[in-house]
Chains A and B, each alone.
Chain A
Amino acid sequence: MNRKITSLLAVPTVALVVGLLSGSVAADKKPARVPTPEINIERGEKCVEDTDYMRRHHQDLILHQRDKTVHEGIRTKKYSLKNCVDCHASKETNSVVGKEGFCESCHAYTAVKIDCFSCHTPERTEEAKVGLPAPSRDPTDMIKRSVGAVLPKTGGGG
């Protein structure tokens, strides 16, 4: 019974969150009334799946990959947490947690606790740091990044 109510509530909540997130993409001109997540993708042209799919299902992909890796030793790169972090970590801190961290800022916004990074390192690997553009101090660039959401038109990122 309880579970039914929760799932009934969950659907509109997810819809609302996804709606808000895509809303922040459209209205990138003026600052939002509520604090919006930092979406700064620093590396890579395109995410492993479409942005919409990743927003709803990234947790399923990571969960599936986790069991495959731990129990069967399947270490494909595509859906691995390491691969996520390598692209999504902040250029300044090299991390996906922290106030402007890709994972933590959005999870704080949606009030969903993540505990991945109590064990896994939130920092990108040394190899992934190679070839990364140097942290930019150019003000126009900073603004562009804080509006963030200017994602490639190919539907990548997210």
Chain B
Amino acid sequence: MSLSRRGFLGVAGAAAAGAALSPGIRLIELADARSPEEAASALNRWGLLIDATKCSEGCDACVTACNEEHGLTSLGRPQTDAQWIRKVTLKDKQTGRVTTLPMLCMHCAEPPCVDVCPTGASFKRADGIVLVDKHTCIGCRYCMMACPYKARSFIHEDITGQKPYAPRGKGTVESCTLCVHRVDTDRIPACVEACNADGGKALQFGDLNDPNSKIAKRLATEPSTQIRADLNLNTGVRYQGI
């Protein structure tokens, strides 16, 4: 969903107003908590910074937390089981150095899955979160083909026991939602929460557009990379130490 002209002018105006006032005083607080009636805004762009050096090989706290949060249960057929986040282990053949990192939807600013979707079901929210509207998804799986990160899963079978905030059903494609139900209520994604509690504190969630957020400050001062940066997708998920 691209920003309409009117929407863009609104955002630009708000940004200009924010910049025009004296330092420390803004008309619109960038990282303010939203009320439930308020729509997601393009003033925010949610993202993740993943430090692979803090991610240890045996740990899968983020994967477990994601599965638990969204009710992703295995149907005993690993080839078709949904995976919203997976651990990837890389080994440098020359040096033998092993790197392990979580891979998930990169929440691209220019998402290929949105480009190819014939029904508009695959869309990017104003705040940068890439989602599937399962009401309009016809299960064609073009988006799965288009995604360079293999981030999406297809639901092959009838499922029950869904969580109230995470509806899932046969014949639709799904992927990481960046825990949109949590973000909307001012909480951090389940994987980040789990990594902070039980893992190596490798995940940092925050607003890339807010220069005062921890994630934006780190991205501004520390080296980081995008996976497949050559595709120019401007990913919302960035990595360190890979």
Contact = CB atoms under 8 A, between A and B. Distances in A.
Contacts of B181: 75
A140 interface: no
B238 to A, nearest CB: 23
Contacts of A74: 36-39
Contact of A71 (B123, B158, B162): B123
Contacts of A72: 39-40, 125-126
Interface residues of B, number: 31
B184 A75 contact: yes
Given A74-B36, A121-B162, A66 B135 contact: yes
A7 interface: no
A153 B168 CA distance: 38
Given A70-B133, A71-B125, A73-B127, A119 B167 contact: yes
B170 interface: yes
A118 B125 contact: no
A115 to B, nearest CB: 8
A73 B125 contact: yes
B161 interface: yes
Interface in A60-108: 66, 68, 70-77, 82, 85
A35 to B, nearest CB: 26
A146 B181 CA distance: 37
A82 B170 CA distance: 20
A104 to B, nearest CB: 15
A125 interface: yes
B160 to A, nearest CB: 8
Contact of B36 (A75, A119, A125): A75
A85 B181 CA distance: 18
A113 interface: no
Contacts, number: 53
Nearest to B121: A70
Given A118-B158, A119-B172, A121-B164, A70 B135 contact: yes
Contact of A70 (B131, B158, B169, B183): B131
A71 B135 CA distance: 11
B125 A119 contact: no
Given A71-B123, A71-B125, A75-B185, A118 B170 contact: yes
Given A71-B123, A72-B126, A74-B38, A121 B163 contact: yes
B150 interface: no
B141 interface: no
Interface in B24-42: 34, 36-40
A66 B121 CA distance: 13
B134 interface: yes
B164 A125 contact: yes
Q: Which of B164, B180, B183 has the most CB of A within 10 A?
A: B164
Given A85-B164, A120-B162, 15 more contacts: A68-B39, A70-B133, A70-B135, A72-B40, A72-B126, A73-B40, A73-B125, A73-B180, A73-B184, A118-B169, A118-B170, A119-B134, A119-B169, A120-B167, A121-B167
25 contacts: A68-B39, A70-B133, A70-B135, A71-B133, A72-B40, A72-B126, A73-B125, A73-B127, A74-B37, A74-B38, A75-B36, A75-B181, A76-B37, A77-B36, A82-B164, A85-B164, A118-B158, A119-B134, A119-B169, A119-B172, A120-B167, A121-B161, A121-B162, A121-B167, A125-B164
Interface of A: 66, 68, 70-77, 82, 85, 118-121, 125
